[in-house]
Structure 1
Amino acid sequence: MSLLVRYPEIASLAFEPRRNSITMKFLFLQLADEEMLRVNFLEESLAAFYELVKVRPLLCNIQLEFEGKLTVLNVERDVATISKSEIVLLVTILREQIQGLLVSDIVEQQLEEAGFHEELIENMLNSIKSNYGGQGLIGIREEGRVLVFNK
């Protein structure tokens, strides 16, 4: 759940042990056709990333849902092959390609605090990759806070 603290662009994060997957949700103000093309750019960029790092994802679902004036981007990945580098790439592409429409908490992090969260993220990914058989978790953002619940 350190991902939510480190990356305020991620609206929610769910870990599903039965599917051995993580789902990250990103919220956007209503996307027009031009921005929809940029979501395709995200898929192409991830495919190129997988090729470069020689990873074959077991699960990579990218879906858009339209809910009133919001567009929800769901990115579901298997925990066995996801990496911190992939998450950084994903967030960076969304920040840069769909500027102004990505809903994000304003979080001021000190540089040393950001490094601490990076280390926590790496530890969290390693922990769930090494056969975490526990309960599902869901983390959400609410009024600048991160709330974590058992699923």
Structure 2
Amino acid sequence: MDFCYKGKEDLTNSISLLISILIRYPEVAKINFDPENHVLKFTFMYAGVLSDTEIDELKHNILSSIEVYNTLECKYPQVVNLDYKISDNLTMIEIQRDVDTLVQEEIALMVELFRQSIHKSLITEESDQLVDEDLVVQEELIEHMLESVKTKSENKRLYAFREEGRVLVFNK
């Protein structure tokens, strides 16, 4: 990855955000940052194929919960989408959220909703559990990096995912 250009700090903050989210939330299989639309795309993986009814129910529960959360916080998100793809015997569920109104607490809410909705077949990679202090540090880092990404004009598309216990980040 090339760090030799103007805006190095912006890219570093964006990369740190993606890495921190993947470290803190092992339920998130991959995450993309689309700087053009200022959107984060969280992908969760379900071991199996969800039916249309199950997808519709999951979509309703998650999107309505996000809507209620943002209403209580007096925020008006620009992008809140849920999409899915079925590949082999996996269902990949993607939530798109605009960075400008997203906060760490909402990310925690999304992850918890997935844990509760599809916990038995939600694919996670939990090798070393973080202790409570580490969890708090990661959450604070996520919040700080989100604020930084909101105010910067980073233009690199970033893609981060887990592979065999490591977090890999690429620019597209």
TM-score norm. by structure 2 comes to 0.82
- Counterpart position of 2:40: 22
- Counterpart position of 2:152: 131
Q: Which has the higher helix share?
A: 2
Report how many residues are paired.
Answer: 151
- The ranges of structure 1 where at least 4 consecutive aligned residues each deviate by more than 3 angstroms after the TM superposition are 32-35
Give the stretch that moved more between structures: 40-49 or 78-87. Answer: 40-49
Tell me the SS of whatever aligns to 2:36: coil
Structure 1 residues 72 and 13, CA, compared in 2 at 3 Å: closer, same or farther?
A: same
Give yes or no for the alignment of 1:122 onto 2:143: yes
| Residues 52-72 of structure 1, C-alpha deviations (whole Å, 9 max, x = no match) | 111111111111111121001
Contact 2:46 2:123 in 1 (8 A): yes
Structure 2 residue runs of 5 or longer lacking an equivalent are 1-17
- Counterpart position of 1:31: 50
Contact 1:26 1:72 in 2 (8 A): yes
Contact 2:59 2:82 in 1 (8 A): no
Contact 1:6 1:117 in 2 (8 A): yes
Amino acid at match of 1:116: V
Give yes or no for the alignment of 1:54 onto 2:90: no
Structure 1 residue runs of 5 or longer lacking an equivalent are none
Tell me the SS of whatever aligns to 2:147: helix
Counterparts in 2 of 1:37-76, with a 5 A limit? 37-76=57-96
* Identical-residue share of aligned pairs (%): 34
TM-score norm. by structure 1 comes to 0.93
Q: Which has the larger radius of gyration?
A: 2
Give yes or no for the alignment of 1:113 onto 2:143: no
